[in-house]
A and B are shown apart, each in its own frame.
Chain A
Amino acid sequence: MFTVLHLFRTERLPYLRFVALTITCCCCILLWGKIALSQQPIHLSMLTSALDAAQGQSLVAAFEAQNPDIKIDVVEGPNASNLIEDLYTSSFLLGDSPYDLVMMDVVWLPKFAAAGWLLDLTDRIPANDLADFMTADLEGGRYDGRLYRLPVRSDAQLLYYRKDWLQQAGIQPPDTFDQLMAASKLLQSAGISKWGYVWQGRQFEGLAAVFVDILAGFGGFWVNPTDREVGLDHPEAIAALQFLRDTVTSGISPPGVTNYQHEDARRLFQGGEVAFMHNWPYAYPLSNAEDSPIKGKFDIKLMVHQPGLTSAACLGGWGIGITKTTAHPDAALRVAQFYASPDAQRLSILENGYLPTRRSLYADPAILTKYPYFSGMMSVIDNAVLRPPIAQYAQASDILQRYLSAAITDRMSPEAALQAAARETRALLAQE
């Protein structure tokens, strides 16, 4: 580089300058011609877990077949969803985001929206287009009353139970916490089931989600999103944690449950060792597969509750949003609308078995033929509760997880643990 400049400056070789100029001009003309003549498709980039990338290949193909002017570049990330969240977070925080589209879990939305990283979709999508979506799923895409995400996949936690064993023991599926405890003890003492009830006790987001279900069944709350009141040290919350603790101490749950994630619980249930399981719907098709020992022997229902109260399932699910800084907001919107469309959802559901976010699909013949249990799932989603839609959710959840874990592993009493959790959460939320 330096020598080239040097040659230019000293007029020792004047013809070289001419040659260089000619070459540069030719290159420019060629490049300009190439750009002008070929219509390059717009490339839109999106980060998903490697699993989602593999499962979403047919969706990308279908979209690109219909829209030859747009190419979707799916970047494969790690499979753990909190790592995907961190990758999105650092790329937005840094600026110069490589991603135009954001495939996001329901709990990331408040953070991404509050940080101002997402394009406001409220005025870009006519209200009519939203009518078919399940209310809870749509609500999960809103922050401060503005819409930032179109839901493409729904999810809500359920109680799985062995209907054959309950029949054998002559009891009804439980509706309350006491009934769940009693049924578990009965099945265990009768030697029908090794364990009563299995859930996710590892210190991770899954534990917070389990607790949200239990908390709702006891009539408590975590953080009130409107006045930001923290309810973790209220009697209902302490009773809810006491229930989880009791399942371990009374031997209803296996001692290892305090280290379980979703797959540990599913393996135990599918292996026929436990009567009740708290889990997401993904376990249904797996447990009901041809090679599953419990095929046709189990059913699902909403999580139990205290007498006189109702239960509510913790809402999960994924949706698609648009990066605020994208150079192609209109193209990105077309992709987002495609992913949320009935056709795309049907295609993905038939391949992968996730729950739809549209009412119409819960009555879709093709889907119901393949997954008959979906018919009952619509009411579950309708009654689902969001985890606190606050911007600092990740931080609040990590605080809660730490103290829940401390209590269920008997390092702290439920009361002391939740008091500490409430104190830290209040300090966190009082930051304004």
Chain B
Amino acid sequence: MTNSSSQASTHALSTRRIGLAIVILLILIFSLAPILWQLLTSFKTTADIAAIPNVYFPKQLTIEHYTEIFRRQPFLRYMFNSGFVAITSTLLCLLIGTPAAYALARLKLPGEQIVLAATLIVTLFPYILLFLGLLELVRTFGLANHYLALIVPYTAMNVPLTILVMRSFFQQLPRDLEDSAKVDGYSTVQMLLQILMPLTLPALVTTGILTFIAAWNEFLFALTFITRESMKTIPVAVAQLSGTAVFEIPYGALAAATVIGTLPLVLLLLIFQQRIVQGLTAGAVKG
């Protein structure tokens, strides 16, 4: 009696585990298949790419598409542009957002609830609503084809997230630390820089990665405010890649460009996935 029931439960357990394994496998296929297909395409010969039916296991691999994109277009330059804009705006964003987060977390300011609520609401508005006004600003200040035309909006669009994540971090810090620093005669700014700063580093990294990803991936402003080839960022440059034959789109080169453009992000994700998850949940759920 006992025996058979335990057998039944192990049986149920094992079907459950098999079911779980299948679902996990499905999740993996769902997430990976498109990326792997693009990766495979980027290494296939042009003949294999255009073969019908599709070639799933090519006999021959090539790196010609990679050499082609670097030869035909200033691809390193696009990478540099994306990297420069993303890193600069990330640093600026931390520089501007962190003090604001501290003020909202610790210092009792009149109307801070309003500032906080406004920050939350602002994250909900799609960039398309902003771009007409920003376009005018860019034209007025002559920022066309200038890194600043991207850095300023990228910084601004990530400040709300920075405030939310960093604020929740500051709220978790013990207050005593700051109180004792004040007793020791530190001013607020000194205390921020010399005592809190080292403690915040992990949280800053978390926020910085999220900010970097958002800035690297942005498309609308990069498409609109940059028209000079040498200033373009990766997403726009790849989206505008085209072929030389009448109705041919260079799928191999496009695939190679996609792989190159996503590689930095894949690496970031692999290294920092724990932090990214923390940041996402702190920014959204606790907000």
Q: Chain A interface (Cβ within 8 Å of chain B)?
A: 49-51, 53-54, 75-79, 83, 87, 90-91, 93-98, 263
Contact = CB atoms under 8 A, between A and B. Distances in A.
How big is chain B's contact interface, by range? 20 to 34
A98 B243 contact: no
A98 B145 contact: yes
B128 interface: no
A53 B228 contact: no
B224 A90 contact: yes
24 contacts: A50-B242, A50-B244, A51-B244, A54-B244, A77-B242, A78-B240, A79-B243, A79-B247, A87-B227, A87-B240, A91-B227, A91-B228, A93-B139, A94-B135, A94-B139, A94-B224, A94-B227, A95-B139, A96-B144, A96-B145, A97-B227, A98-B145, A98-B227, A263-B247
Contact of B144 (A51, A83, A87, A94): A94
Interface in B209-253: 223-225, 227-229, 240, 242-247
Given A94-B145, A95-B142, A96-B145, A50 B243 contact: yes
Contacts of B145: 94, 96, 98
Nearest to B229: A75
A78 B254 CA distance: 13
A54 B224 CA distance: 26
B138, B139, B145, B242: residue with the most chain A Cβ atoms closer than 10 Å: B242
Nearest to A73: B229
A323 to B, nearest CB: 12
B227 A49 contact: no
Interface in B230-282: 240, 242-247
Contact of A90 (B227, B243, B246): B227
A128 B173 CA distance: 83
A51 B142 CA distance: 33
B144 A79 contact: no
Question: Which of A83, A87, A94, A263 has the most B CB atoms < 10 Å from its CB?
Answer: A94
A94 B242 contact: no
Interface in B22-61: none
A104 B225 CA distance: 22
Contacts of B72: 76
B109 to A, nearest CB: 32
Interface string B160-191: 00000000000000000000000000000000
Interface in B110-139: 135, 138-139
Given A51-B246, A90-B223, 19 more contacts: A50-B242, A50-B243, A50-B244, A54-B244, A75-B229, A77-B240, A79-B243, A90-B227, A91-B228, A93-B135, A94-B135, A94-B139, A94-B144, A94-B224, A95-B139, A96-B144, A96-B228, A98-B227, A263-B247
Nearest to A54: B244
Given A87-B227, A90-B227, A95 B144 contact: yes
B72 to A, nearest CB: 8
A94 B225 contact: yes
A98 B229 CA distance: 8
Interface in B135-154: 135, 138-139, 142, 144-145
A316 to B, nearest CB: 16
B257 to A, nearest CB: 14
Nearest to B225: A94
A90 B247 CA distance: 25
The winner among A50, A54, A87 for most chain B CB atoms within 10 A is: A50
Contacts of B228: 91, 96, 98
Nearest to A91: B227
A404 B33 CA distance: 40
B244 A53 contact: yes
Nearest to B230: A98
Contacts of B229: 75, 98
Interface string B62-73: 000000000010
B255 to A, nearest CB: 17
Nearest to B223: A90
Contacts of A75: 229
Nearest to B243: A50
A14 to B, nearest CB: 32
Contacts of A50: 242-244
Contacts of A263: 247
A100 to B, nearest CB: 13
Nearest to B226: A94
A93 B223 CA distance: 13
A219 B264 CA distance: 61
Contacts of B139: 93-95
A53 B245 CA distance: 10
A153 to B, nearest CB: 15
A87 B138 CA distance: 17
Contacts of A95: 139, 142, 144
B227 A79 contact: no
B274 to A, nearest CB: 34
B238 to A, nearest CB: 12
Nearest to B239: A78
A177 to B, nearest CB: 31
Contacts of B144: 94-96
